[in-house]
Amino acid sequence: MQVTILGGAGFLGRKLARRLVRDGVLGSRRITGLTLFDLAVPQPMPSPFPLRCLAGDVADPDAVAHAIPQDTEVVFHLAAVVSAAAEADFDLGLRVNLHGTLAALQACRALARPPRVVFTSSVASFSGGQDAVVPDDGRQLPTNSYGAQKAIGELLLQDASRRGFLDAVSIRLPTVMVRPGRPNKAASSFVSGIIREPLLGIATECPVPPDFAVWICSPRSAVEWFLHAATMDTTPLGLDRGINPPGRSATVAKMLNALEEVAGREARSRVSFVPDVDIQKIVDGWPAAFEPDRARLFGFAAQESIEELIRSFIEDDLEATKRERGIE
């Protein structure tokens, strides 16, 4: 089985690649080759099968077609410009989030056999704010450009699935925490920051109040959902290829309580509250909770507790983050 990860240099792309290399199989089938594609050349890793690491523009149809060879059976489309960056630069968001998805669709359409495509959509494609609890048939009505671009991508891939060009599953990812490395340009970057920075011994600011709630998941859960989406029977999905996976709703206060439980009061004391109007404006429209009955029915695993989520970051990524940031 040939597999391609678009966005293979991103943190979720790297985690997914390491998992595929470790397992050597996807579902019950042996992986015979893996391509990692991103704007910068993804870092190579030891692999039991041929591994290609390619750099290119995801909006360039020729580059994407080269990253998805004719015998590809599974494409993980993780490449994206994140929320605040897409809001700040509308043209960049369109180029990567919309035209990149179009390029991926066209490359998949040209294959001899329709591949499975796992697309990372987002909870940002919904609105409703803090009082919303989104059901599986909730309407996508984005309040930001990133969410709109993701919703468009879902519709394109849904229609391509209907026409038999490919076989898509769109995972509407919750806010993924704790992200390793450095803060990024996502409006939700603070969600990881209020855990990661204190664990690094660094003071950080939270731009939203303690009672602000977020729909979250761990990197471990996200990777498990990708793998399940790549191998599940999609026949019961019918026309609707969008999945609201079973994340967890948590307020900032609950996250900080969990941080104190795992790492002590001193870690929690490193977080201060400094309102940011621009960030608040973006995240205020995001719903704080979902009712993911459909995902559970189709076998998507539930998100672990917040304490377990923090411990998994300490186990998986804390030391590497310290090295990356030059922290002893």
Where in the sequence numbering do the catalytic residues fall?
146
Q: What length is written for the chain? A: 328
DSSP classification of residue 98: I
Q: For residue 236, what are the CA distances in angstroms to 3, 73, 241, 260, 291?
A: 24, 20, 10, 43, 19
DSSP classification of residue 209: -
Q: How far apart are CA 140 and CA 242, in angstroms?
A: 11
Q: Can you say how many angstroms the Cα of residue 104 is from the centroid of all Cα atoms in its chain?
A: 17
Structure tokens of 157? 């891939």
Beta strands in 156-304 (DSSP E): 167-173, 175-176, 204-206, 213-217, 242-243, 248-251, 271-273, 289-290
Burial of 166 (0-12, 13-18, 19+ CB in 10 A): buried
CB–CB of 142/134 below 8 Å? no
